[in-house]
Structure 1
């Protein structure tokens, strides 16, 4: 995710913080400072940091459950509205998806239970309704936050945890695509409700949550539809075959000339034997031209370790590689391992548009 940077790595999962998260800390610090000075500001910021530590543990719960089914979680990103775990893909079996979805809230249940035991009593209604009141106690407020996280995440608003459980239950009766469409609609209706409440209460974070849920629900529905279409098409029937490639000895100047004479956004870097060595993206090219000039070799700035797939494989396998590796493209090779084309998220999206248009016409 852009504008984020890594701070830790836990069990193979990189923990990243988005720069906007620090805007939240600044906002909280200023608000509490105005109420009670520097000590209140420090306590307010410390409380938010503790809350997001619980959010990280929540996301690690998802990652741990997903690892049980052989699914890696390359990174977790902290945003002002919460955490986002980037799983390679969600389990396709409904029972497994339910386990992965519920694992996160279960972590918050455990945290809340431990805090309540440490507190020696259940938080009262005042703590729940006045969670911003520091006089109610750090531990009590943190316990309540974890209870709220459980209840909030189990709302059946896709792609939140409750929405994923809803999708999994629907998938036991309907196709995965249709189940996702229903769950996404429910999520978008919930997003409108969140947005309405945010406008009434003046809660900016709730408005951002509404926007995130609405966009993410639409994106997830589209991605599931893409995968369904891709499972019926072979890679060689959808890959890009007409393209300009660069050699390992090519310079950024050569790449710039190729950019101007083509409509490509990415350029495969191929050696003399036809083997894919990397991909130079348009964004990487422009940034490197500014920093290093036209004479810099492309092999120093290209993206390496690009996943490859055989041309007889199905397109959904390439789609999963694109999602899991977070790569700009997937190379397509023949039996000898020579590059014959490549696949990008953009051209898979174009395939979906063509397939939908053809379906309407028929």
Structure 2
């Protein structure tokens, strides 16, 4: 779930949220329509159209979620934002065929909605010219006609082969059928960044700031996707013990913030466990809380006044990747690493990053 989101309920057991930015969009549409037409009915219809469109976006994301569930992958939640929707899958399918199905499930929902609006006659109508003896299909000039056009546009836009759009994942899945997954991701990310450059130039040429924002978003997302996959594959066979910090200081509860600051300056340790020794840790004093405590409480205050109570525990022989994800997702400063009931180290994102840099350097040396 994204911060500042309102929970609306559950669909098929999946919680869905509304981000506060969506409320800004509703207010903007309402005011713009009122200013343009001065008609409350027109303004109300515009808001209903936006709500209907985001209902289609919710169904789009639900398509991804239900397709992923078919392959045993749960969805944490779905969030609707001003830029669209996000379904947070617990993980992406690594089987290329499964990823292809999950990626196509969202645009397929938009296609089905468009076909329903077409064949029901709600989104289009047939006009006949008796003089020329011809008939043509035209879009209805109303909310349902606009909704049909919007669903077709959503489907086309999402199939652009660039991350984070579904088309980027479709491309990656197709490439992964002929090459390894990290290489497929790098290739798909590079193609996506070429599209980002194209969006950028087009935005400059036609004077469309929105296209420039899309270009920036696609460029950053493509790079992030490539990095995350590389990282995931680099850590998949690494144990927590290989990345843990073994030389660390545990501050007693009687230590002051001033003494903690001296330890921070004296070495490379950023986050300090608090307790009566490594096996009796009662909390953690991250660097951010230390600096905040110094400013608010002064150097003579005890570390217990600024620490975060408790510390999560992981086993030394456990896999690194789930622990690393937990550190990130929950904003944890560190985890206590135990082996056979005893504390043997700390796990921090800084130490994991250093391990990854060392492994990358060693891998590069082997290729020389």
TM class by smaller structure? 0.7 to 0.9
Aligned to 1:31: 32
Q: 2:181 aligns with which of 176, 180, 198?
A: 176
What is the TM-score with the length of structure 2 in the denominator?
0.77
Which ranges of structure 1 fall in alignment gaps of 5 or more residues? 128-134
Kindly report the root-mean-square deviation, in angstroms, between the aligned alpha carbons of the 2 structures: 3.8
Higher RCO (CA-CA < 8 Å; seq separation 6+):
1
Contact 1:59 1:104 in 2 (8 A): yes
Q: Say which SS state the counterpart of residue 87 (structure 2) adopts.
A: strand
In structure 1, distance between residues paired with 2:16 and 2:262:
38
Q: Say which SS state the counterpart of residue 154 (structure 2) adopts.
A: helix
| Count of equivalent residues | 349
In structure 1, distance between residues paired with 2:62 and 2:208:
28
Contact 1:321 1:330 in 2 (8 A): no
Structure 1 residue 286: Cα displacement: 7.5
Aligned to 2:20: 19
Deviations 1:105-137 (A, max 9, x none): 22222322333344445478875xxxxxxx821
In structure 2, distance between residues paired with 1:69 and 1:342:
35
Q: Say which SS state the counterpart of residue 179 (structure 2) adopts.
A: coil
In structure 2, distance between residues paired with 1:162 and 1:314:
32
- Quick one: structure 1 residues 171 and 292, their matched pair in 2 at CA, closer, same or farther if it must change by over 3 Å? farther
Which ranges of structure 2 fall in alignment gaps of 5 or more residues? 126-135
Aligned to 1:8: 8
Structure 1 residue 270: Cα displacement: 6.8
Structure number with greater Rg is 2
Aligned: 1:60 with 2:57: no
In structure 2, distance between residues paired with 1:43 and 1:290:
53
Q: Which of 270-279 and 95-104 deviates more?
A: 270-279
Structure 1 residue 141: Cα displacement: 0.9
- Quick one: structure 1 residues 344 and 272, their matched pair in 2 at CA, closer, same or farther if it must change by over 3 Å? closer
More strand by share: 2
In structure 2, distance between residues paired with 1:275 and 1:111:
59
Structure 1 residue 290: Cα displacement: 9.8
Q: 2:95 aligns with which of 93, 96, 99?
A: 93
The equivalences for 1:1-362 within 5 A come to 3-10=3-10, 11-39=12-40, 40-120=42-122, 122=124, 127=139, 136-244=141-249, 258=260, 261-262=263-264, 274=279, 302=309, 306=312, 308-322=313-327, 326-328=330-332, 331=335, 333-361=337-365, 362=368
- Quick one: structure 1 residues 299 and 61, their matched pair in 2 at CA, closer, same or farther if it must change by over 3 Å? farther
- Quick one: structure 1 residues 61 and 303, their matched pair in 2 at CA, closer, same or farther if it must change by over 3 Å? farther
Contact 1:276 1:331 in 2 (8 A): no
Structure 1 residue 285: Cα displacement: 7.5
Contact 2:251 2:273 in 1 (8 A): yes
- Quick one: structure 1 residues 16 and 149, their matched pair in 2 at CA, closer, same or farther if it must change by over 3 Å? same
What is the TM-score with the length of structure 1 in the denominator?
0.78
Structure 1 residue 41: Cα displacement: 3.1
- Quick one: structure 1 residues 120 and 231, their matched pair in 2 at CA, closer, same or farther if it must change by over 3 Å? closer
Contact 2:334 2:349 in 1 (8 A): no
